[in-house]
Amino acid sequence: MISRLETVNVSKRYDHLQALDNVNIGVLSGRIVSIVGVNGAGKTTLLKILAGLDTMNEGKILVDGKEASQEELRACSTMVFQKSIMFSGSVYDNVAYGLRIHHVPSRDTRKRVLSALKIVNLESFEKRKANKLSSGEQQRVAIARALVIDRDVLLIDEPTANLDPTNTTIIEQGMKEAAKSHIVLLSTHNLSQAKRLSERIIHLHKGHMIEENDTASFFANPMEERTKLFLDGELNF
Amino acid sequence: MDLGEEVVALDPIIQGIIQAIELIISGDPEVYRITELSLIISISGTALSCIWSIPISAVLALRNLPGKRVIKGLFNALIGIPTVALGLYLYLMLSRAGPFGYFHLMYTPSAIIIGQCILVTPIVVSFTTSALESVDPEVRTLAKTLGASGMQMDAVVLREARAGVLLAIVAAFNRAFAELGVAIMLGGNIRDLTRVLTTAIALQTEMGDISLSLALALILLSIVMTLSVILSFARRSST
């Protein structure tokens, strides 16, 4: 079980765009940490690097104090994307995918899939075609699909963007459940969601880490001027 | 031409269709032998082509290769290759004086199978490549973050593109099943050996046996159309 995930001077460039610039964060298990920031802040890029899905130009990532390779990061984490992508087939097939490719016995697979579907209130949806579900239901399937493989690090990118309150509540409950035994890093620009769910908040802006603080202090007494502007909705892209 | 003359002109066609239906219903052995041989040859040619065409498509769609665009363009261009031209080229290759004459393949079903599998390769490659490329690239990323290996990621993309791959295979089969040039030049239209639906239709029409020609043409059309209907159902249920 991983208890700490850190980035050390992580930088990422795309051609002429500096997506991340010397980002240093630390996340502990058993809590939700939110990354907030305006569009283009580098939130998704950071999550993709932590998930081992993208490379960095400079810096390193430490897992329990030890430098981790891209493969090692992929082995200990999983990511839920903003746009929920469904494999063709049933809800069950989607959630079971990560277990089947690792040849988990079908009995165990069934037990784990049903338990994950229960967390996101989709127990009765197992036979439904995933592509025919609403976007909120698809996002709940995506959360269940990530939870079922039980990786130590769960990276969730804007999971409730454009979703109705009911689906949002169910997904948030799923994330809280996951945070009991995982490192959960949530990227969001929904500040009320970050306030509701997280113990700590990281503010990114144009690839720079502006502030990392506990939730109460972040909202009540932000240390940085740009965080104050962001909270007031006055920080430009 | 008045109405009476038109009816008289249509009469042989209507008669031919009635006789054709009678031939099919009565289970005429010649009709069924030709149909069976056609199916065996075209299914074999298509299946053989899929063995290399699908992996080629996977490489073209999912890997970064130098000259990839040129290769794809070449396969696209070869879709429209005239079957007679291909037949002639293969005739020169397989005939006794040709480089592969040693194998004595001319005028055998194997020669037609070879010709048809070469003929349909560009169809399978082009259609399958475009089906694989149309899958959302994020599907691979999703599979990756759920722990899939490189091969498993490719398998996921192939699975997501299966309706398009199926379309490619059916289109290839239809092309092989309905072509005449390769079958007649490499097979020679030998009764009970290399006579397939298209060569038989051409021969019987030339000989004036319209009813047999029509019976064979009806079978040809109904197989092609049945496959298209099955394909559309399969595509609908695969989503």
Minimal Cα distance from B142: which residue of A?
A85
**CATH code of domain B3-238:** 1.10.3720.10
* Residues linked to residue A20 through DSSP beta bridges, in sequence order: A12
Q: How far is residue B57's CA from residue B55's CA, in Å, rounded to a whole number?
A: 5
Residue B2 in this model has a pLDDT that exceeds 80: no
Rounded mean pLDDT of chain A?
Answer: 94
Residues in chain B within 8 Å Cβ distance of A81? 138, 141-142
- The answer to whether A88 contacts B156, with C-beta atoms less than 8 Å apart, is no
- The answer to whether A81 contacts B138, with C-beta atoms less than 8 Å apart, is yes
| B225-235 tens-digit pLDDT | 998 898 888 77
Q: What is the mean pLDDT of residues B72-78?
A: 97
Most A CBs within 10 Å, among B136, B139, B144, B145, to test the A interface:
B145
pLDDT at B231: 83
Domain boundaries, chain B: 3-238
Q: How far is residue A45's CA from residue B50's CA, in Å, rounded to a whole number?
A: 39
Q: What is the mean pLDDT of residues B197-202?
A: 96
Residue B238 in this model has a pLDDT that exceeds 80: no
CATH of A4-231, one of 3.40.50.300, 1.20.1250.20, 3.30.70.600, 3.90.550.10: 3.40.50.300
| A200-232 tens-digit pLDDT | 999 999 999 999 999 999 999 999 999 999 998
Q: What are phi and psi of B189, to 5 degrees?
A: 60, 45
Show which residues on chain A lie within 8 Å of chain B, measured between beta carbons. 51, 53, 74-75, 77-79, 81, 83, 85, 87-88, 97-98, 101-102, 129, 131, 145-146, 149
Residues in chain B within 8 Å Cβ distance of A75? 147
Residue A28 amino acid letter: L
Residues in chain A within 8 Å Cβ distance of B238? 88
Minimal Cα distance from A101: which residue of B?
B148
pLDDT at A237: 63
Q: How far is residue B149's CA from residue B151's CA, in Å, rounded to a whole number?
A: 5
pLDDT at B4: 57
pLDDT at B23: 82
- The answer to whether A77 contacts B145, with C-beta atoms less than 8 Å apart, is yes
Residues in chain A within 8 Å Cβ distance of B136? 85
- Tell me whether residue B147 is exposed, middle or buried, using C-beta atoms within 10 angstroms of its C-beta: 0 to 12, 13 to 18, 19 or more: middle
Residues in chain B within 8 Å Cβ distance of A130? none
Domain boundaries, chain A: 4-231
Please state whether the predicted TM-score (pTM) of the whole model is above 0.95: no
Residue A183 amino acid letter: I
Minimal Cα distance from B159: which residue of A?
A88
| Interface confidence (ipTM) of the complex | 0.92
The pLDDT > 90 percentage for chain B reads 77
- The answer to whether B142 contacts A129, with C-beta atoms less than 8 Å apart, is no
Q: How far is residue B194's CA from residue B191's CA, in Å, rounded to a whole number?
A: 6
Residue A101 amino acid letter: I
Residue A167 binned pLDDT confidence (cut-offs 50, 70, 90): very high
| B141-184 tens-digit pLDDT | 999 999 999 999 999 999 999 999 999 999 999 999 999 999 99
C-beta atoms surrounding A198 within 10 Å? 24
| Nearest C-alpha neighbor of B135 from the set B53, B37, B214, B58 | B58
Residue B233, min C-alpha distance to chain A (Å)? 16
Q: How far is residue B78's CA from residue B53's CA, in Å, rounded to a whole number?
A: 13
